[in-house]
Amino acid sequence: MTDSVDELNQVIAEADCLVSEQQVYQAIDTMAEEITAALRDSNPLLFCVMNGGLILTGQLLPRLKFPVQAEYLHATRYRQETTGGILEWKLRPEADMKDRTVLIVDDILDEGTTLNAIADYCLAHGAERVLTAVLVDKQHDRKAKPGLKADFTGLEVEDRFLFGFGMDYKGYWRNAPGIYAVKGL
């Protein structure tokens, strides 16, 4: 059943704000500088991973100081849940990625299953190299491969269920202005 607006307002009122809006923007500024330094001469093809990657992509793109071809794909494995399942492709990338440098942008690397599967797909479809950028890397030892990291990471955040800046709570609060942890999760 859909939570009521009152319940959703209670979720943010009771949540812990782990990273403020200002700290998130500082992290995105730094990520943009790092990505610009690394990729400005690579003519990269950027894929926003919908839905969670939407806000980071929208904030990053105007900060990248080189021409970027921006596209999107849609893969999901959490749906409305707080634990992940099988990755479901809702929209596979359509752009030709043969011999291209691909940059995948998402909100969070949790276990890393999502980014691994997308990177494998891009390499299997001819990408020359695949780099990944995430706003948040959740700190725990359940990564799909030990030590798995994105190439560009904004923030390292503790092992709680997070929402805000693209990350949802039951489909809501992707718009929360900061990174929050749900009470009790």
Contact positions vs ligand PRP (CB under 6 A) = 49, 51-52, 76-78, 84, 106-114, 168
Closest separation between CB of residue 169 and ligand GUN, Å? Answer: 6
> Is residue 176 a contact point for ligand GUN (CB under 6 A)?
no
* CA atoms within 13 A of residue 147's CA, in its CB half-sphere: 0
User: Contact, 72 vs 104, CB < 8 A?
Assistant: no
Can you say whether residue 79 is alpha, beta or left, with left for phi > 0 and alpha for psi between -120 and 50 degrees? left
CA distance 73 to 67: 20
Q: Cβ closer to ligand PRP: 96 or 156?
A: 156
User: Contact, 40 vs 65, CB < 8 A?
Assistant: yes
Which of residues 38, 78, 143, 170 is near ligand GUN by CB under 6 A? 78
> Is residue 163 a contact point for ligand GUN (CB under 6 A)?
yes
Select from ligand GUN, ligand PRP, none the partner in contact with residue 137, using the beta carbon and a kind-dependent cut-off of 5 to 8 Å: none
> Is residue 162 a contact point for ligand GUN (CB under 6 A)?
yes
Closest separation between CB of residue 87 and ligand GUN, Å? Answer: 12
CA distance 19 to 101: 31
